[in-house]
Amino acid sequence: GAVVSQHPSWVICKSGTSVKIECRSLDFQATTMFWYRQFPKQSLMLMATSNEGSKATYEQGVEKDKFLINHASLTLSTLTVTSAHPEDSSFYICSAWPTTSGISYEQYFGPGTRLTVT
Amino acid sequence: GDSVTQMEGPVTLSEEAFLTINCTYTATGYPSLFWYVQYPGEGLQLLLKATKADDKGSNKGFEATYRKETTSFHLEKGSVQVSDSAVYFCALDGSSNTGKLIFGQGTTLQVKP
């Protein structure tokens, strides 16, 4: 089946620094990728939609200057958390929507990245 | 706005027991509905889906029927196995089918031998 990877799987950074998270579709192309955030014992919350070759669209309440998204190729999207603070500590999950999915509606999810800001 | 509500977990069952995980939704229009499963250390995987009222999604012995009159999409399995232990998420994609999923809070299922 289709595989989506995320790197790193776990990262610890100091407050005020930036950290980049990669999301890769390994065996398919994805024009669209999504970034979600999950707090402990809570649901996934959509942060933004990443479209290859264009600017990301952010959900209401998500700071676009803090969470920079770049979708530079059909297999890679990156999320950069800038000037991270402890409240940004969370589990970040991406999903990739295959370009050829048509009406299949199936997205493929990465395993997630746990970010801890100290 | 659109939302999904799942029954609280964790749910603990013995092997071969019947499983029901309740899911109700609020949405304008006609959303598509999904169940995703997350095994430890892995990404969410699509378990089943239904795109219109009265559709029944099924996979690996799991079933769910899109009930518009009760705005529900309950997940059922007649006989669970230890390998079904995982976190289950109900989700919807609004009527414009953008791929933007709204998730329920997830239900942890533990099946004991």
Summarize pLDDT for B9-36 with one digit per residue, the tens: 899 999 999 999 999 999 988 899 999 9
Does B88 reach chain A within 8 Å, measured CB to CB?
no
Across chain B, mean pLDDT equals 93
The CA distance from B43 to A4, in Å, is 8
Does B102 reach chain A within 8 Å, measured CB to CB?
yes
Task: Answer whether residue A104 shows pLDDT above 70.
Answer: no
Across chain A, mean pLDDT equals 91
Task: Answer whether residue B8 shows pLDDT above 90.
Answer: no
The pLDDT of residue B94: 86
Q: Which residue of B has its CA nearest to A38?
A: B105
Q: Which residue of B has its CA nearest to A111?
A: B43
The CA distance from B87 to B104, in Å, is 11
Contact A105 B93 (CB under 8 A): yes
- If one compares B23 and A27, the residue with the highest pLDDT of the two is B23
- In angstroms, what CA-CA distances link A7 with A23, A26, B101? 7, 12, 22
